[in-house]
Structure formats: structure tokens, C-alpha cells
Homo-oligomer: A and B are copies of this chain.
Amino acid sequence: VLYRTPEMENIFSRVAHLNAGIQFESALARAEATAGVIPSEAAIRISSACDSFQPNVEQIFTDAIPAGTIAIPLVKALTAHVGSVAGGYVHWGATSQDLVDTALMLQMRSGLELIDSRLRAVALTCRDLALEHRSTLMIGRTLTQHALPITFGLKAARWLGLLSRQLERLQEIRGRLLVVQFGGAAGTLASLGSSGVIVQRHLAEELGLGQPASPWHTERDRIVEIALHITVIAGCVSKIASDLAIMAQTDVGEISEGAAEGKGGSSAMPHKQNPVDITLALAASGLSTGLSSTIVGSLRQDNERSAGVWHGEWESVPNVFMYTDFALERLGAALRSLEVHPERMSENLSRTNGLIMAEALTMKLAEHTGRTDAYRIVQAACEHCMSQNRSLFDVATHDPDIQNSLSAEEISTALDPMNYLGSTEEFIDRSVSTFDQLPQR
């Protein structure tokens, strides 16, 4: 009830569903006239009636329960609106599922466009963060523990890489999977004689959808693949939001959500600033990914048209679009208002007294002593750090074995996180460049 954006709600509203169904009927009539299956005048009349038709949404959804589908009451009402003679040609040769599935395809087309924009906007913000914080040092954390230094730019660049791959796939999916449904009562287009396939082609063209090799009333792989990708995008949101939530902890404090009037406060605690956008992004993305099994389960549809599993799609498919879009929107809001605290990142980096640089010191020392000795010497130094609560620099500069090989300046250089970033820059550049080369929509 909370987890939907107005834009996506419009795309999957009851009225939008009916309008997409009307669009199907209009296109069908024109396609059939083109193929010579129904009279041209009938098609003209139907098309024009479709343009002016405003269905009684409430009534049609009420009647859909005994009818088992919105198609029957919708076609009935549309037929009446078209009037006699031409009315007899409405829905010619089609079955209810042709209308409903094609309507869903049209709605998903809009939904995919919206997700694409939203995803692109989030990616763009990640790109900005990657470049701006290319050299903003922070600690890399693995299994909850401080590991080695990274930069915040690298973190953002990897988010960007993740999102770019989803954008790429989104584009590929839109070209391949959005197809028309047209098969008639049992998928043979029997009542159209030998014209079935021709009408199918014209219909697809009218609607700007792809033409499938055959009807797919109970082969739901395309819808499943689309909806699954939407849940995967939600999963990507959850990864990024989860990283942000960790960084936003009071104990970490490396980022915070931008404050705003009425945002994230607590009535009881004046000092609190909750990461609200992140929280809601996590909630909505979890709802979306939790539907993945239901979505894949939708592949099990019996016979020529199934009883039940298909009907479940009418709820699960719109829901994953709703949840994912909301999650993307909240994540986007969080990222755009993000306050980054490099000073806290820097503070946290030194929490282990320099121990995170032990590997770096070992590598440097090894140039003089060989790797085995270096490892032994540095490990001993690390133990002194921990038992005496001293910094690695302090211990190292007082350790005769290290002093023999390295000057204080060299030690200092080896212990500087900025000098131990490996391929960080290159990974950032690659990520940005991959994104920049994505085709524009």
C-alpha cells in the first residue's frame, strides 16, 4: 500500500489495464481489415469507438470475478459501445487471454521504460560519486571486518558496473521479449482459416510488438524472464542500499541521508536522523525479490490455457514492477541527497592502528629480506601493536629488524593507504567507460 510510485501505479492501474485491452481490440480490428478478414468499415467503426470508449472500471472488475477475466465484460461493454453490425466484428477470432496477455505486454513495455529511466538516473548518480570520490580513502570491509583500504569512488564504481549490466540486459530484453499474444480459443487461430498468421503479423505491427512464432498461452517464459529481471534489479538495489545502511550506522558515520523537513526524525529523540530512503528501498526491494519463486512458478501452466497459475500473474507481475520502481526511486533519492563524510572515512581507516597496512609493509620489507622473513617480522610487529595498543608505524619505526631495511620515511610511505590501492583507478575508469558506452534509449 506504501510501496508504489505514482508513475508505475498509473501504468498498472485498473483503468490502464482496460485501456491496453481496448488498444488491443482496436489494433485487431484494423489488422483484420488489412488482412481482408473483416470489412474495412467495421474496422473503422471499431477503431473510432475504441478511441471514445471509457469503460466503467468498477463494474468491469466486479463482473470479472464471476467471468474469470476482465476480457469478457470488457468486450461485452465495448461491443455495445460499437453498436450493431460492426459490433459483431469486435474481438473477432480472439480469445480472452489474447486480450489480457497483450494488454500486459503493452503495460510492461511502459513499465520497462520507466524502470530504465529510473535505473539510468541511479546509475548516473553512482557515476558522479565514482568520479568525485575517486581518491576518497575509506576502509574496505570483508566479513564485517576491516580489510584493506579502498576508495569510496571504487565502491560507487562497482555499484555503477552492477547497474550498467542491468541496463544493458534491460535493453536486450525489451527488444526480444515484448511480443503480441494471438491464438484464439485453443491456440490454432481456427476461426481465421488460413489468415491467422497474417492477422497476427499485422496486429504485432499495429501495436509495435514483436511477432512470436506461435501463441504462447501456456508458455510463459517471456513474461517470467521479464519479471525476473525486474526482481534482479530490485536485488541490485538491495545490495547498494545495504552498503549505504552499513555506512550510515552511527558507529560508522561515513554517509548520511540529506536531512529535510519531516524526514527521518524521531519524536522522542532529537539527535536521531534515520536513513529513511535507504530503509524503504530495502523494504521494497525485499518484497520484489521475495516474489521471484512465485514468478518462476508461473511457468507451470497446463494444457492450452491453464486454470489458476496464469491468473496469479495479474497480481505478481504488476507487483514486482511496483516494488522495484519504488525501491529504485528511494535509492535514487538517497544517493542524490547523499552526504559523504570523508573525515569519518579517514578516522575509521585508522581504527586498527595501521594494522590494515601490514600486508603493504610486508611487501615493501620483502624487497630487502625476502618474503618469508618479512612476513615473520611484520607479524611479530602486529602482535606488539595489539598487545601494547600502539600504532604499526610506531612499532615498525622502533623495530630493529625493520629499521635495518627501511627508513622511517620509507615505512611511512609503505603504511600510507593512498599508496596501496592497486588497480583501483583502473577499475573505476573501466566502470565509467562501460556506462558511458551504453546506447542511449
Contact = CB atoms under 8 A, between A and B. Distances in A.
Contacts of A143: 68, 272, 274-276, 279, 305-307
Nearest to A84: B372
| Majority SS at the chain A contact face | helix
A292 B296 contact: yes
A65 B148 contact: no
A401 interface: no
A366 to B, nearest CB: 9
Contact of A379 (B148, B270, B305): B270
B283 A309 contact: yes
Interface in A333-366: 348, 351-352, 355-356, 358-360, 363
Interface string A302-330: 11111111111011101000010000000
A280 B308 CA distance: 6
A286 B297 contact: yes
Contacts of A416: none
A422 interface: yes
A158 interface: yes
A108 interface: no
Interface stretch (A43-51, A88-96, A109-117): A88-96
Number of copies of this chain in the oligomer?
4
A289 B298 CA distance: 10
Interface string A188-207: 11111110110010000000
Contact of A423 (B196, B303, B372): B196
Interface in A56-92: 61, 63-68, 72-73, 75-76, 88, 91
Contact of A67 (B149, B265, B360): B265
Interface stretch (A20-28, A121-129, A236-244): A236-244
A314 B142 CA distance: 18
Residue from the set A222, A238, A285, A423 with the largest chain B CB neighbour count within 10 Å: A423
Contacts of A291: 290, 293-294
A320 B266 CA distance: 30
A267 B303 contact: no
B68 A264 contact: yes
Contacts of A315: 1-3, 283, 287, 323
Contacts of A363: 191
Contact of A188 (B67, B236, B421): B421
Given A158-B214, A158-B215, A315-B323, 18 more contacts: A1-B12, A2-B64, A2-B65, A2-B314, A65-B276, A95-B268, A140-B303, A141-B250, A141-B303, A147-B185, A228-B296, A236-B299, A245-B308, A278-B307, A289-B296, A289-B299, A290-B291, A290-B297
